Every structure is written in structure tokens, then in C-alpha cells.
Amino acid sequence: MSGTKRLRSLDVCSGAGGLALGLEGAGFDPVALLDHRDVACRTLRANRPGWNVLQTDLLDFDPSEHTQTYDVDLLSAGLPRVKATATVNRRDSEAELEVLRATMLLLHGVQPRALLVENVPDLVTKPVYEAIRSYVAEELAHLGYRHRWFVVNAADHGVPQIRRQGVLVAFKGDGIDSFVLPEPTVARHMTVGEALLNSMSARGWPDAQKWAAQADVPAPTLVGGSWERGGADLGPTGSKRAWARMGVDGATVADTVPDADFRWNPGLGRPGMMPLTVAQAALLQGFPADWLIEGRKTAMYRQIGHASPPPVGRVLGTAIAAVLRAR
């Protein structure tokens, strides 16, 4: 981005920083990043000591106490996954929906030039979410924003994972008319074997090349799971079956990659398969190898599984920046 004016953003529900990192590559510098989890804030600070990281719940954030957030170029939000059972008119609506409503209130207070929200693809495509989409549309129109919903697949942008993300982009005024939906940036999808061969070979595992040849498809969607219960694994039953077809034990997360003594034999079930490490999961989510994730193993994996892949943030940010710089 040398020679190009940097843009300012406010990033909320920042998590491990995947969306903010991608937007940084697209030319956005955050004036503040919000997350309510201590471990996520520690991750953000470990990687970008210069970022203004605020450990606070979005529901409690008052922009009048942080006036640097006023009139930023972009408000970005990788929100907790909204569930279809929530309804916008119910007083006891779920926490995920409350965060979405808080984002609309924050939009009113901050008045950014553009908005970017990332969430589940069903929020964009399924009729059961129509009430939520209508609520968002009414709020945006009331504030003078025009918007667009769409779905992107992270695999189309170099992430070795089939991860469909629902995206909302809005601009104050008529900027949406100039917004161009990003085209795929890779000619073909990267496979798990291609992404992880080097790491699988790091401790001299003799079957690494053979394994990589079998792991010849992108990963299924990584799922962070609940913060309140359970340990780290690679997702629901269907995902575990997909991992098993690649000779990977998806029911847990490893501390280290296989060594020279490990004998890979998927026919034996879990004992003959190796789990992935947290660092490998981060690579499959599109994080650079030097991105630090703080916390114990389960907390580390949760942050990765819930993150937005940085390459997707970058292509979305680039498309948004093109509109903002032209105005």
C-alpha cells in the first residue's frame, strides 16, 4: 500500500484478529479494536503492540468516550454467529442477536463511511433469517446507508478450507453502486496436503509426503465450538468423517506434529491417524505462520475456529477501499 493514503477503521468483536489483519493488508489502520475476552485481547496485543485494543463488551461500549472512533472510514465486525431461532422483536433474544443490534446502534454513534459485517452464510440466504435481514435493512436505511448481502467462499481466495461466509457491506450514500464484488483470486483451491506438508515434515515423519498426496482437497469448515463447554476438535460429525478420509483424527487437537516414529495407518481408526496442531489449524484458516495465538490449547483453537480468514478480509477490504478512495 506504499504511496496510497491509509484509511481508518473501528473493528469490533475482533477475536484473534483475522478480519483486522486482512483489512490492514487492504490499507486500513484500526483506531480501536474491541473484544470482551481477555485471551483474544492478549492475542491482538502480542501481534500488534501498537494497536489500541480495548477489552470491553460491545454492548457496553460508548463511542463518546472514544471520540477517535467518530467518522472512521470503516466499521468492521466479525460477529458471533447469529442463530435462526433468534427474532428481532423478542425481549429475551439471544446474545448473538443482541450483538448485531448493538452493532447497528454503534453505527448510529460512530457514523462510519462504510460497514462490513461477517457472519454465517445462512444469514444471507435462508428465509428463516428474513426478519433479521429486514431489521438490518430498516436500520441502515434510517441512517442513510445502502447495503448488499452476499456469500464468499474462503477457498476462492487462497484459504485451504471450504468456508462460506455471509457478508454485509454498506456505504453511506450511494457508494454501494460502485462496489464490485470480489472475484476469486486463485485459479484452483489449495488442498490440505499442500498447505500442511512442510509442517507435517518438520519432525522427520516419513509418511508426510504420502499423507499430503491423500489430503488432496480443501479442509472442511473449521468450527470453533462453544466457549462454555467441551474441548478442542475439528467440528461436527460430518467434518470428522471428512478429516478421517484424509487420515486425520478430527476428534482432538495435537500438541506436536508427528515425529519419525509415528506409523500412519488410518485403517486402525483414531490410533493410526494423527490430529492437527493449533498452528496447523491457523494455517488452514489463512493466518500467517508467525501470527501468535495466546492462551491454553483449547482457547487457542477456539480463537482460530471462530476467526475470519485474513485473506478474505483483505479482498473485501480492498473492494471497500476502492469505493472509499474514489469518493
Domain of 142, in residue numbers: 7-183+308-325
Q: Which residue has the higher pLDDT, 302 or 83?
A: 302
**What residues have CB less than 8 Å from 2, skipping those under 6 apart?**
none
pLDDT in tens, 176-201: 999 999 999 999 999 999 999 999 99
Inside any domain, residue 1: no
- Centre a 10 Å sphere on the Cβ of residue 149 and count the other Cβ atoms it contains: 18
Q: Which residue has the cell 454498506?
A: 170
Banded model confidence at residue 94, pLDDT cuts 50, 70, 90:
low
Residues 136 and 176 in one domain: yes
Inside any domain, residue 160: yes
pLDDT higher than threshold 50 for residue 114: yes
Burial of 187 (C-beta count, 10 Å sphere; 0-12/13-18/19+) = exposed
Banded model confidence at residue 95, pLDDT cuts 50, 70, 90:
low
Inside any domain, residue 42: yes
Q: Got the DSSP string for 232-273?
A: --S-SHHHHHHHHHTTB-TTS-BSS---TT----GGG-GGGS
Inside any domain, residue 252: yes
Number of domains in the chain: 2
- Centre a 10 Å sphere on the Cβ of residue 252 and count the other Cβ atoms it contains: 14
Residues 212 and 117 in one domain: no
Residues 164 and 220 in one domain: no
Instruction: Calculate what percentage of the chain has a pLDDT beyond 70.
Output: 94
Residues 125 and 164 in one domain: yes
Residues 169 and 207 in one domain: no
The pLDDT assigned to 98 comes to 84
Alpha helices in 48-129 (DSSP H): 95-110, 122-125
> Which has the minimum average pLDDT: 49-53, 127-131, 145-149, 224-228?
224-228
pLDDT in tens, 60-81: 999 999 999 999 999 999 988 7
pLDDT higher than threshold 90 for residue 9: yes
Strand order in the sheet with 7-12: 53-55, 28-35, 7-12, 74-78, 114-119, 164-172, 145-153
Inside any domain, residue 2: no
The pLDDT assigned to 3 comes to 63
pLDDT in tens, 115-155: 999 998 999 999 999 999 999 999 999 999 999 999 999 99
Residues 300 and 312 in one domain: no
